[in-house]
Amino acid sequence: MPEGLDAFVQKVNSAEGSRKVLEVKGFGAVQSQIAGAERLGCSVFVDAAQGQTLYVDLNLLASDGMDNNQMCERAKQAAEAAVTTLQGS
């Protein structure tokens, strides 16, 4: 996203208590779930570069038994993989 993390995250409709500050491969990041749709997915936003946010979104199309924590862990793993790829290019 062509926008810094702080500005971008303010636009996200996060569920109460779902917004969590974390680190992804040394970069600041925020994890969030959409209010009212927590069971459907999880997003991770990474402060990848000046004015640039890497946005990773994991959405479930069918219930496969993953809980909120598992979905957010998978979204974080995908963000880590994306950052690793970007660092290698």
Determine the pLDDT at residue 11: 66
pLDDT by residue for the chain (89 residues), tens digit each? 566 677 766 666 666 677 888 999 999 999 988 777 777 889 999 998 888 889 999 887 766 678 888 889 999 999 999 999 998 86
The neighbour count for residue 28, using CB atoms within 10 Å, is 14
Q: Is 23 left (phi over 0), alpha (psi -120 to 50) or beta?
A: beta
Determine the pLDDT at residue 41: 85
Determine the pLDDT at residue 54: 92
Determine the pLDDT at residue 25: 94
